[in-house]
């Protein structure tokens, strides 16, 4: 019986290690043109992870009516990482698809999922609109 438990635990550790290696090998520090939708999403996610909510808010469309308390009420692991999947730009609108992942304590806080950010171009640059991660609750007047 103890050999079966040991084999299961070893198998789970190997799976987590493989997932971590795959995610770690992605270019998580890519730098995009500062005025691009990709850079906007990257800066926004970094501000959220750093808990610099005023900076995160600067990347959101004011019509969402988000505020710092929306971020304080949201949940996301502190070891969150982002990896770009795809960006589509159509005039003054853009969609940036990313993979957001976290590798916390083995077996408990590990997750990887896809998020899609919708953006609009404003005079000040690209702004995230819609229901952005992790503050899905502030959809304002949209």
Residue 36 in tokens: 């691009």
Quickly state the pLDDT bin for 142 (edges 50, 70, 90): very low
Q: What's the first-to-final CA gap in the chain, in angstroms?
A: 57
> Comparing C-alpha atoms, which of 130, 125, 140 is closest to residue 43?
125
Select the CATH number that applies to the domain covering 34-129 from these four: 1.10.20.10, 1.10.1040.10, 3.40.50.2300, 3.10.450.50: 3.10.450.50
- Of 108, 59, 102, 97, the closest CA to residue 79 belongs to 102
Can you read off the two tokens belonging to residue 90?
């159509």
- Determine the Cα–Cα distance for residues 82 and 43; give it in Å rounded to an integer: 11
What is the DSSP annotation of 78-101? Answer: TTEEEEEEEEEEETTEEEEEEEEE
| The predicted structure's pLDDT at residue 113 | 81
Strand partners, 95: 88, 118
Locate the domains of the chain by residue range.
Answer: 1-30, 34-129
Q: What is the pTM of this model?
A: 0.72
Give residue-wise pLDDT tens across range 26-79.
Answer: 544 566 778 899 999 999 998 998 999 999 999 999 999 999 999 888 877 777
* Separation of alpha carbons 111 and 93, rounded Å: 29
C-alpha 51 chain-centroid distance:
13
SS3 percent helix, strand, coil of the chain, rounded to 5, is: 35, 25, 35
Q: Rounded distance, CA 75 to CA 48, Å?
A: 10
| Token pair 């795959």: residue | 22
Looking at per-residue pLDDT, the higher value among 122 and 34 belongs to 122
């Amino acid at each position: 019986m103890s050999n079966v438990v040991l084999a299961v635990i070893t198998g789970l550790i190997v799976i987590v290690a493989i997932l971590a290696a795959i995610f770690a090998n992605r270019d998580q520090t890519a730098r995009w043109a500062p005025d691009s939708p990709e850079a906007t999403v990257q800066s926004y996610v970094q501000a959220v992870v750093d808990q610099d909510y005023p900076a995160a808010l600067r990347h959101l469309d004011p019509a969402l009516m988000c505020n710092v308390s929306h971020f304080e009420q949201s949940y996301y692991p502190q070891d969150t990482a982002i990896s770009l999947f795809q960006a589509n730009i159509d005039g003054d609108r853009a969609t940036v698809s990313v993979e957001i992942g976290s590798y916390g304590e083995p077996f408990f806080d590990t997750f990887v999922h896809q998020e899609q950010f919708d953006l609009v171009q404003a005079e000040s640059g690209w702004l995230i609109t819609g229901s952005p991660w992790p503050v899905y609750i502030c959809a304002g007047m949209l």
